[in-house]
Chains A and B, each alone.
Chain A
Amino acid sequence: MNGQSLDPVAPSRVFAAILLRDLTVARRELPYFLVRTALQPILFVIVFGYLLPKMGMIPRGYSTTMLPGVVALSLTLSAIQSVSLPMMQDFGFTKEIEDRLLSPVPMQLIAIEKVVAGVLQGIVAALFVLPVARLIMGPIPGLTFGNVPMLLAVTILGGAAFSTIGLYLGAGIAPQQIGLMFSVIVAPMIMFGCTYYPWAGLSHVPVMKWLVLINPLVYVSEGMRAALTPGVPHMPIVSILTALVLLTALFMALGLRAFDKRAMS
């Protein structure tokens, strides 16, 4: 027998190979992926960013408030779904992930790869929705792309926070409960995520203003506001970034633990 199978393999190489697998599959499914993650935000844009302003039921400047929220929504929805949905299926019945769990690296690296792939898919969705939304809503007063570092930071940290949430849900929830996950967790998160209104606006309802702080989406929406439309009142940047870092760390820890439980009996 040759001694080849004794050579250790660099974990970074295995990581890259597994990431390439996920990106290859994602690229093939791009149309479905975009429909799944971008359709909902775009429909909102059509109604609230185009139809209602046309009817005069919503002031024209509303698009400035709404655009960052819609971008945040696309980023987070796609990040959470890209990680959680395939993982539920894999662990639940297809067991397809087994061939990666048998690769010669620590198993947690497989979970981390899923998170990275989730961030990348979130970025693709956000990059798709941004120009489409701008096209539908027309010129958006106060929109700027000048704040690149903040935009990058919010995109990456927001994607990471929601990919890790996806990891936690994907490894922790049985496939039969997917419907429940969307109606109980995702739907309220969208409604109370400061996507369609700025956090500062909640000053009219002080209880809500504090309650929504448990919602991770709030920080991504506000972060996008700080980056894309700095003129709109938003949460302090330091609070936003700190919250996103803490959320990522928390859900990474919870997610890895849940993953470990499912990967080994």
Chain B
Amino acid sequence: MNAIETRQLRKVYPAPAVKKRRGAPAAPAAPPAGIVAIDALDLTVGEGEFFGVLGPNGAGKTTLIGILTTRVRITAGEAFVSGANVATESATVRRRIGVVPQRPNPDRSLSVLENLVFHATYFGIGRTEAARRGRELLERLGISDKMDAKVDQLSGGQQQRLMIARALTHEPRVIFLDEPTVGLDPQARLALWEILRELHEQGRTIVMSTHYMEEADQLCDRLAIIDQGRLLALDAPAALKAKAPGDTLVEVTFDGDASVAAEAARGMDGVSNAEARGPVLRVFSKRGGELIPALIDAGERHGRIVRDIHLSRPSLETLFIALTGRNLT
């Protein structure tokens, strides 16, 4: 049985209502188009896999996790978690998953330990057993000294750990983490990575969304790169990196439109692809840095002045840019 399976999954949010101003001329009747957050998504995640969903802000990551955790209604298609249909068997799905939200949302009326104990009882676990598990998890996540503290006394990183502990109290089969390291300092982030690796080694299925390339690269067995709700690539990080254009990405930012320079760059030796996005010229080339003087020249001939130059070796980042024409952040 697959941990997760989606078939032609689609989610359209209703378009935000536009208030009509009195006296304003009637707008042409636009079709009631919504915002497509997920589009024709087919995904399969195996049992025990550490699966990453990578994409820029607004790519549909949170919506996808929302659907799989039964909190977002599906517009079309189907999704199964641990064999249960998220739309028709949502309570069963919830029984089998643990969720770590993007922003910690602990129960602030309760202490740290109580957060875990009460949460466990919501899953039918007796209080004695719940307290035992709660203590053990706080110990494992290194916040047992805060057991009786109020949640507000925890730092951001500690609250995130509490969220992970909470997601684990009922022994879920699949753990979902929605951009768990956003807003954490580098140290707390590394500590969290350790915790996630450990969970993975214990054989749990982990689904994590992120917009940090490095995080996805370091932790995940397989990665789905999504943008604007569509699946662009799906493979192991190493395989994806191998698919990245085998060239160095040179980004030159001019003080004006870069399309004239792009035109010139396409004719240069060793350039596999060149395109302009506003003032930014992106060139994939085997010659890497050697090309820079020629690119500067190409711009200057048309009166453009260089503002910034950036070189990137083949990586998930350059693959992402090649796939979407956009930077990840």
Chain A residues in contact with chain B, CB under 8 A? Answer: 1-2, 4-10, 13-14, 17-18, 20-21, 24-25, 28-29, 94-96, 98-107, 263-265
Enumerate chain A residues within 8 angstroms of B170, measured Cβ to Cβ. Answer: 5
Decide if A5 touches B95 in the complex (CB within 8 Å): yes
Enumerate chain B residues within 8 angstroms of A13, measured Cβ to Cβ. Answer: 124
Enumerate chain B residues within 8 angstroms of A29, measured Cβ to Cβ. Answer: 109
Decide if B118 touches A95 in the complex (CB within 8 Å): no
Decide if A17 touches B121 in the complex (CB within 8 Å): yes
Decide if A106 touches B110 in the complex (CB within 8 Å): no
Enumerate chain A residues within 8 angstroms of B105, measured Cβ to Cβ. Answer: 94-96, 98-99
Residue of A nearest to B93 (CB): A104
Known interface pairs A99-B166, A101-B71, A265-B73; A4-B109 also in contact (CB < 8 Å)? no
Decide if B96 touches A5 in the complex (CB within 8 Å): yes
Complex Cα gap A94–B173 (Å)? 27
Residue of A nearest to B166 (CB): A99
Bin chain B's interface residue count.
35 or more
B193 CB-CB contact with A under 8 Å = no
Q: Least Cβ distance of B6 to chain A in Å?
A: 18
Give 14 A-B contacts (CB < 8 Å), ordered by A residue.
Answer: A1-B203, A9-B95, A17-B124, A24-B118, A25-B110, A29-B109, A94-B108, A98-B99, A99-B122, A102-B97, A104-B92, A104-B124, A105-B91, A265-B66
Closest 7 CB pairs of A and B: A9-B124, A104-B95, A17-B121, A103-B122, A95-B105, A25-B109, A104-B94
Tell me the B92-130 residues at the A interface (CB within 8 Å).
92, 94-97, 99, 101, 103, 105-110, 115, 118-119, 121-124
Q: Least Cβ distance of A15 to chain B in Å?
A: 10
Residue of B nearest to A14 (CB): B122
Partner of A6, one of B94, B96, B103, B121: B96
Decide if B108 touches A96 in the complex (CB within 8 Å): yes
Task: Please count the residue pairs between chain A and chain B whose beta carbons lie under 8 angstroms apart in the complex.
Answer: 94
Partner of B124, one of A10, A21, A94: A10
Partner of B101, one of A1, A95, A263, A264: A95
Enumerate chain A residues within 8 angstroms of B13, measured Cβ to Cβ. Answer: 265
Enumerate chain B residues within 8 angstroms of A107, measured Cβ to Cβ. Answer: 90
Enumerate chain A residues within 8 angstroms of B106, measured Cβ to Cβ. Answer: 96, 99
Enumerate chain B residues within 8 angstroms of A28, measured Cβ to Cβ. Answer: 109
Complex Cα gap A20–B203 (Å)? 34
Enumerate chain A residues within 8 angstroms of B90, measured Cβ to Cβ. Answer: 106-107
Enumerate chain B residues within 8 angstroms of A1, measured Cβ to Cβ. Answer: 171, 173, 203-204
Known interface pairs A4-B171, A17-B122, A96-B108; A104-B69 also in contact (CB < 8 Å)? no
Enumerate chain B residues within 8 angstroms of A95, measured Cβ to Cβ. Answer: 101, 103, 105
Enumerate chain A residues within 8 angstroms of B203, measured Cβ to Cβ. Answer: 1
Tell me the B164-213 residues at the A interface (CB within 8 Å).
166, 170-173, 203-204
Residue of A nearest to B170 (CB): A5
Known interface pairs A1-B204, A5-B172, A18-B122; A265-B72 also in contact (CB < 8 Å)? yes
Complex Cα gap A191–B172 (Å)? 52
Enumerate chain B residues within 8 angstroms of A7, measured Cβ to Cβ. Answer: 124
Decide if B119 touches A99 in the complex (CB within 8 Å): yes
Q: Least Cβ distance of A33 to chain B in Å?
A: 12
Residue of B nearest to A260 (CB): B73
Enumerate chain B residues within 8 angstroms of A100, measured Cβ to Cβ. Answer: 122
Decide if A5 touches B122 in the complex (CB within 8 Å): no
Complex Cα gap A104–B12 (Å)? 26
